[in-house]
Structure 1
Amino acid sequence: MEKKKVLLAVSGGIAAYKAATVASRLYQGGYDVKVILTESAQKFITPLTFQTLTRQDVYTDTFEEKNPSVVSHIDIADWADLVLIAPATANIIGKLANGIADDMLTTTLMATKADVFVAPAMNVNMFNHPAVTKNMETLASFGYRFIEPNEGLLACGWVGKGRLAEPEELIEVVHAYFAETDKKQDLPLAGKKLLVTAGPTREELDPVRYFTNHSSGKMGYAIAAAAKKWGAEVTLVSGPTSLQPPSGIKVENVISAREMYDKVLSHYNSQDIVIKCAAVADYTPVSVFENKFKKKNDTWTIELKKTDDILKTLGEKKENQILVGFAAETENLESYAQDKLERKNLDMVIGNDVSKEGSGFGSDTNEIIMIKKDGSKRTLPILSKEKAAEEILEQVLDLMKR
């Protein structure tokens, strides 16, 4: 079998010495290992150490081009099957979370499409600092995965959480990742990119008021989780919800209909499947007040204008994507859903009567009808939203075979 390629990125902390053991064990375990050292990391351990352990050049400088036929940081970014940042300092976490690319490590990480594991190591107070917490949350929303540090006596003398995970733990994460990846090759949506929208949008009226709807996002999140489980590379574009996103997917948080429109369109061309589940506002205020609007008269007339129709735009721009929409109705469900399917050039529409008990916004169940562009229909009884999500994906697989 072809060797798995691991890019080990080492930043400047005392725990950098553990990275040498990780590099050595991975190389001995049959992995192809390349190493990037930051300038600070070289204060603790030398490039020669890693070169000797991996039999590979070590990368330290964005502008040192060892091979004139390639751009080094792009070449190594494309080369990697997996990136492991160990140790990951507060500084490197902050840079990556905020899009700062000013050295070999950060420029490479900005360019890679490989999955990234981050193993933090720092003083316990630094680890618990709100800025570090926020930056880690940001990276998690990008799809980065974290390997929790251990608790104990730290190099600085403090006792607490912040010790880099032991080399054996880091190596086990790499083994488990590739074992999972190999299994995914047999999953039904392996290699497919799927985007799903979820939740409501909010249309601001003034600093304290906005228009929204009752969507909880549960159906869209259930589809995202099922698609991930079935092997897809999932992007979730979510309006404001209280839900915890499924792990291992890219999350794009938006507020307004316009933000959702822009975000979905920015991803559309790279997707194989798009499932438009969000309850997007059809109208938005013409005027937004800079300050809170004060009570004056017994009535208040607000002028609204149409928002851009995301699903219609996707249908107009559709090339090879499978496009699925939702039709949440309170009457004439099938006829309205069929009309939406045709007007918006969908491959399938999912209709649900939100006025029915067990099928409305916020419930944990749904009762749906699925109508395809070839006229075929499938009506399901009330199911959990997780089960309904799997039924929807089964029909998407059927569309992929045609």
Structure 2
Amino acid sequence: MRDEDIYKQIMAGVYVVSDNIISPIGLTTDANFEQIKKGVSGIGLHHDTQMAALPFYASLFKAGAYADNAVYTKFEQLLIASIEQALQNTTADIAGSKTGLIISSTKGNIGLLENNIQTPQLNKRIALHTSANLVAGYFGITTQPVVVSNACISGILGILTAKRLIESGQFNTVIVSGADVISQFILSGFQSFNAISAQPCRPFDADRDGITLGEGAATIILSSNSKYSTGVEVTGGSTSNDANHISAPSRTGEELAQAINTSLSEAQLLPHQISLISAHGTATLYNDEMEARAITLAGLKHIPVNSLKGFYGHTLGAAGLLESIMSIKSLKENVILPTPGFKQIGVTTPINVSSELTTGKLTNCLKTASGFGGCNGAVIFSKTN
């Protein structure tokens, strides 16, 4: 491809052409959005002794839903179901060598280790690229799928990877789908950090005491062709790493602020032009404190902020996608969703946390995420009309 063709490709934009969310509160994006507007949360108290000896709060699908079968695991079935729903809502052509597939997950099929003897065959079955190839094969996608597994920024990084692949001219269309399911392995891991809240999580609240886990799947389809656009474009995005600690975030927020500022620069936006911030907001002491510092450093402390973890729990590799889709829907509907559980600001650098459903003219949304290993991600969605 000639340099001028690549330049035109970059200038053409990266458009959101379809999306889907499958969660315990709904099987479509619209259903999820309506439930959240009504204040419906998927989080409940569960007593499953196969996962934990004591009851725990989580947002889980009903027992037996998407159960493993001889061909596809629950994880893979969620991905397939979400992608199918997203494809039904667009006429974009996914056939041929100009369509890519990106799978985002933090744990994939790791739960298979719990009830099976570890063998080379099992190790291959658990591998994320195995799942990605199965999903690609189901939809007849002939290009090699890309797997993104970078802790809690995996969903955002999947979107940014798709954006770069489209801008470089490698693909015209990219399907980005993410999912995670909660198992005893995952739950016990977070419990070992004393990170699980004894109540539904309360992001940014003074009484927050940890995360709530959740299951879900989400899909965004991006394209360089504006004729398929649903009215929203990915205009900027960036990642950074604070290299502070394997499981604890930066104490200053400078590195997430760097990712935010780079995203604003790429989108050619000033801080006051952001209408909404969809924060990671896990409700741990250190994450929320760091995010608030980063938002303040980036000059965004007066912009409305929400965290949707009180509706969905932390859906791990699906979180960045799921919450991005809700942000896109918020832009289209001019609605700012609330932060469940939030009552009193509990961070030392106060930010404008949305505590109730509000309406107003929205044009640009910033989505942030941070995760283990010090990774940070930011992406900006903008209305095109």
TM-score (norm 1): 0.22
Asked which structure has the greater RCO (Cα within 8 Å, sep 6+), the reply is: 2
